[in-house]
Every structure is written in C-alpha cells, then in structure tokens.
C-alpha cells in the first residue's frame, strides 16, 4: 500500500514510525512532516487544509490510503473530497469532525445517544449565561468552538462564573456558552479507531494539560502522557466502549454521518462513573506518542480496515509494561514561545524514542520552530520505570530556555 499521512507534529512522527513497521506499507509520504519524520519517510510541502490540493497529490502519487493526523484538514472537508473521489481515508468527514469543533453539537449527540456527560445548559447570549451562572454556584463555563481548552473556565463560585461569561462574551464568537456541572475525579483519554459502526479501543492514557509540574500554570496542548492509564481496569475500558463509543457512532450514523477515523473521548472518572468531558475527531497529542509505543498490532492494517468499513471489533494486543512521553517545550510556551534556538539532540537508547514536533532544519543545525518541540518517550516494566527513563532522556535534550514537566505519570498508581 502507498500511504499519505497528513500533519507534522509529534503525533504524526509517532504514527509514521509505527506505520513504517507494517509489511503492508510499500511507501509512506508525509505532508508536510518535520525533520524527525524526514529521517524515516519522504516529506513534501502541501497546504493540507486544501481539499483539492490533497486530492491532487493523492492522485498524482497513486495513494491507496490517506491518514489524517490533525483536525484542521477534517474540518476543512479534506476527507469528504478524498472519499468522494474514491480514495480510502482514515479521518471523518467534516460533518463528523463537528463533534470536536462544537461543544454544543457534541452535547446534542451525547444527549440523543444517552452518553454519560455533565449536566449542562446552553446559552446563545453571554449576558443571559452570566445571569444564570450566579445561581449555579461552582460551575464550569465553556465557550462553544474555542479550541485547546482556552474557552474553559472552572469557576469556584457563581460570581467567578458570571465574570467568565462576561469575558467570553467580549470575544468574537463568544456568545454561545455552556454552563456545565462541575465534576471531580481523575481524567483520562480513551481513543477508538472506528469504521463507521465498529471500533477497536487503544489503551487508556492520561495527558497532563497544565504547563508546570503539579498541574500548575495555564492550559497547553499537552505536556506529557502515559499509557496504559492503569487506574482503569480492562472491564471499565470495555464498558466505556459500550456506553460511550458505540452509542455515539450509532447516533452519528443515524444522522447520516459514517464516522471512519479516531474518536477520542476526554473522560473524567467521577464517583458516579465515567463522564465524557469532550470529544475529538482525531488522535490525541501527546497521547499517540505513547500509545504507538504500547500497541502490538499492524497499524496500517487497522487504519485501512477502518477506512474501508471492514474492521473486526476485538481487543487490541498491547506490549507489556508502560510508556511515558515527556513534552519538551520552547521558552515562553504556551503564552509566547521563543523560536529559532539551536537544539542539541542525543542518541536514543533501547525502548527510547524522540518524536519531533516544532523543529526545523537551518542548514546543518536543528532549531526550534514551535511551542511544543520534542516528545521524549520511553518504555519500561512499569509507569514509574518508564517515567524515570523518559525524564532522563528529556534532560539530555537541551536548548536555551527549554522546559518540561518531571512529574508525567507521577500520579499513576
Ligand atoms: P475541555 O476543553 O472540555 O476538555 O476542558 C478542558 C479542561 O477543563 C478539562 O481537561 C478538565 O480539566 C476541565 N473540565 C472541563 N469540563 C469539566 C467539568 N464538567 N468538571 C470539571 N472539570 C472540567
Ligand atoms: N492531548 C489532548 C489533545 O490532543 O487534544
């Protein structure tokens, strides 16, 4: 099979690494890729949110399967265009990607499908939301459609919530606001590879969204992850498949949306059971980096079967032990990342991998070109062992002002 992978982050580097191990893959093209990916696959520049441009490249290169990493091409209708032209693609149509782009739509689907989630009220007027917030007391305020956790405020009082509503209302497109029941419990990510109606579950994982150790500081795209999230039993994972993934796919299909791609549920394990906080229509970053290290399957075969609607539902084989990924970020990330600093790389040891994200070649040197620069990953017999190795690896990767969390996976039992 000739594969085309879209994206250029740590998630895509990990996917490329895993896909290259499949005997089914005769060639792997990545657009736009990054310097780490360029060492293991051919990279080409491409405007990946332009459906016509992606389709033209797929046709010109005789591509059998397109794998879409990030959400932007999905929202832009890249998967729709490929599918309409008869090209197999792993990634949902734009209609399915709305489950990530609109919190209101995600809630509507969950309510219709009976998926356990926080109680909520939807407002199309920020002032009305602010008024109502006063009587909720502690509550979560969410702006519809604002990405990366930036539109979410966990308010400890009605006054704080009302203030958050007013602040969001001042933003463009900040009028549609959700007030949501404040839940408690550990958070985890569960991802399903879906063929429209059937799915297989990757190992549960846990992201670390705050920038500093101890879950302090502002939200980020994710500062590190580990898998498996070992506080969840196999039976609990299976139950999440049945209570979350299965009814969501069925509800989407009922609405005419055949979801062929990754369905990511961000969950909170509350005392009353798991509750969905959010859906994404793609794999997580940095979760994918550790999930690929743990997965003991032919990824290309799985994604092809999803794209063709030919998946066999079954438990996936996982490698023993655990993997931890530590994100190394540029100075100033997430507020104002400083770019262009020269990076010192080191050799990876056994069961260690360095995935690139915000890196760029400048002549013979590698420099930072994004907020999240590298993910240092390691596998070990336990989360604690993998954590120690990943943190040590991260410590050997240096540039001016780089920072990372030393506590990724520290809360794993
Ligand atoms: P979201 O963008 O919906 O994933 O929210 C970002 C973060 O806000 C989550 O990772 C949680 O830490 C927190 N959060 C969101 N919804 C709730 C909720 N209902 N109760 C408590 N915390 C929440
Ligand atoms: N790591 C969180 C996400 O990919 O959305």
Q: Quote the pTM value.
A: 0.95
Is residue 149 lining ligand 1, measured as CB closer than 6 Å? Answer: yes
How far apart are the CA of 269 and the centre of ligand 1, in A?
A: 12
pLDDT on residue 227? 98
Calculate mean pLDDT across residues 134-156. 81
Q: What is the pLDDT of residues 42-93, one digit of tens each?
A: 999 999 999 999 999 999 999 999 999 999 999 999 999 999 999 999 999 9
Q: What is the percent of the chain with per-residue pLDDT over 90, rounded to a whole number?
A: 92
What does the chain come to in residues?
413
Ramachandran bin of 382, using left for φ above 0, alpha for ψ from -120 to 50, beta for the remaining angles? beta
Q: What is the percent of the chain with per-residue pLDDT over 70, rounded to a whole number?
A: 98
Is residue 143 lining ligand 1, measured as CB closer than 6 Å? Answer: no
Confidence check: pLDDT of 148 > 70: no
Q: Which of 100, 208, 287, 326 to mutate to test the pocket of ligand 2 (most atoms within 8 A of CB)?
A: 287
Q: Side by side, which strands form the sheet with 322-329?
A: 206-207, 224-227, 322-329, 372-380, 352-356
- Confidence grade of residue 150 (pLDDT, cut at 50, 70, 90): low
Residue pair 135/161 in contact (Cβ under 8 Å)? The answer is no
User: Of ligand 1's atoms, which has the minimum distance to the CA of residue 181?
Assistant: 19
User: Of ligand 2's atoms, which has the minimum distance to the CA of residue 284?
Assistant: 4
Is residue 183 lining ligand 1, measured as CB closer than 6 Å? Answer: yes
Tokens of 212: 């500093």
Which of 17-26, 125-134, 137-146, 324-333 shows the lowest mean pLDDT across its residues? 137-146
Confidence check: pLDDT of 330 > 90: yes
296 CB contacts (<8 Å, ≥6 apart)?
A: 316, 317, 318, 319
pLDDT on residue 149? 52
pLDDT on residue 137? 86
Residue found under tokens 């040197």: 365
Closest CA to 197 of 165, 245, 156: 245
Q: What is the pLDDT of residues 337-362, one digit of tens each?
A: 999 999 999 999 999 999 999 999 99
Please state, rounded to an integer, the average pLDDT across all residues of the chain: 95
- Confidence grade of residue 152 (pLDDT, cut at 50, 70, 90): confident
Angle in degrees, CA 219, 121, 270, rounded to 5:
55
- Nearest 10 degrees: CA dihedral of 394, 399, 403, 409? -10
Residue pair 207/148 in contact (Cβ under 8 Å)? The answer is no
Confidence check: pLDDT of 151 > 80: no
Distance CA 75, CA 145 (A): 12
pLDDT on residue 191? 98
User: Of ligand 2's atoms, which has the minimum distance to the CA of residue 225?
Assistant: 1
Helices (H) and strands (E) in the chain, counts: 14, 22
Distance CA 411, CA 71 (A): 29
Structural domains present in the chain: 2-94 (3.40.50.20), 119-180 (3.30.1490.20), 184-308 (3.30.470.20), 322-396 (3.90.600.10)
Q: What is the pLDDT of residues 376-408, one digit of tens each?
A: 999 999 999 999 999 999 999 999 999 999 999
pLDDT on residue 143? 86
- Confidence grade of residue 118 (pLDDT, cut at 50, 70, 90): very high
Is residue 182 lining ligand 1, measured as CB closer than 6 Å? Answer: yes
Q: Which of 120, 138, 140 to mutate to test the pocket of ligand 1 (most atoms within 8 A of CB)?
A: 140
Calculate mean pLDDT across residues 363-377. 97
Q: What is the pLDDT of residues 228-281, one digit of tens each?
A: 999 999 999 999 999 999 999 999 999 999 999 999 999 999 999 999 999 999
How far apart are the CA of 303 and the centre of ligand 1, in A?
A: 29
pLDDT on residue 147? 52
């Amino acid at each position: 099979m000739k594969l085309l992978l879209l994206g250029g982050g740590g998630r895509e580097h990990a996917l490329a690494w895993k896909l290259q191990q499949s005997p089914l893959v005769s060639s792997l093209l990545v657009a736009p890729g990054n310097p780490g990916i360029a060492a293991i696959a051919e990279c080409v520049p491409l405007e990946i949110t332009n459906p016509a441009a992606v389709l033209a490249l797929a046709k010109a290169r005789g591509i059998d399967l397109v794998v879409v990493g990030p959400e932007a091409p999905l929202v832009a209708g890249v998967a729709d265009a490929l599918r309409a032209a008869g090209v197999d693609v792993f990634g949902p149509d734009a209609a399915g990607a709305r489950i990530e782009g609109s919190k209101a739509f995600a809630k509507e689907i969950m309510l219709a499908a009976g998926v356990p989630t926080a109680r909520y009220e939807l407002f199309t007027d920020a002032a009305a939301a602010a008024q109502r917030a006063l009587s909720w007391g502690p509550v979560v305020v969410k702006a519809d459609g604002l990405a990366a956790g930036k539109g979410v405020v966990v308010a400890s009082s009605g006054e704080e919530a009302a203030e958050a509503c007013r602040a969001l209302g001042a933003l463009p497109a900040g009028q549609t606001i959700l007030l949501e029941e404040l839940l408690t419990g550990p958070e985890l990510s569960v991802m399903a590879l879906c063929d429209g109606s059937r799915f297989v579950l990757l190992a549960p994982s846990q992201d670390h969204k705050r920038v500093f150790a101890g879950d302090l500081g502002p939200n980020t795209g994710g500062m590190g992850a580990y898998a498996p999230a070992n506080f969840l039993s196999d039976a609990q994972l299976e139950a999440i498949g049945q209570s979350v993934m299965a009814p969501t796919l069925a509800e989407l299909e009922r609405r005419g949306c055949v979801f062929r791609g990754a369905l990511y549920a961000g969950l909170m394990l509350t005392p009353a059971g798991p509750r969905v906080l959010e859906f994404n229509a793609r794999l997580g970053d940095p979760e994918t980096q550790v999930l690929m290290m743990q997965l003991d399957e032919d990824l290309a075969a799985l994604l092809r079967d999803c794209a063709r609607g030919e998946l066999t539902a079954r438990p996936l084989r996982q490698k023993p032990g655990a993997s931890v990924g530590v994100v190394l970020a540029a100075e100033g990330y997430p507020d104002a990342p400083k770019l262009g600093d020269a990076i010192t790389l080191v050799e990876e040891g056994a069961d260690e991998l360095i995935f690139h994200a915000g890196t760029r070649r400048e002549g013979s040197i590698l420099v930072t070109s994004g907020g999240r620069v590298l993910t240092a990953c390691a596998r070990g017999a336990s989360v604690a062992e993998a954590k120690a190795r990943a943190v040590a690896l991260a410590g050997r990767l240096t540039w001016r002002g780089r920072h990372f969390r030393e506590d990724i996976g520290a809360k794993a039992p």
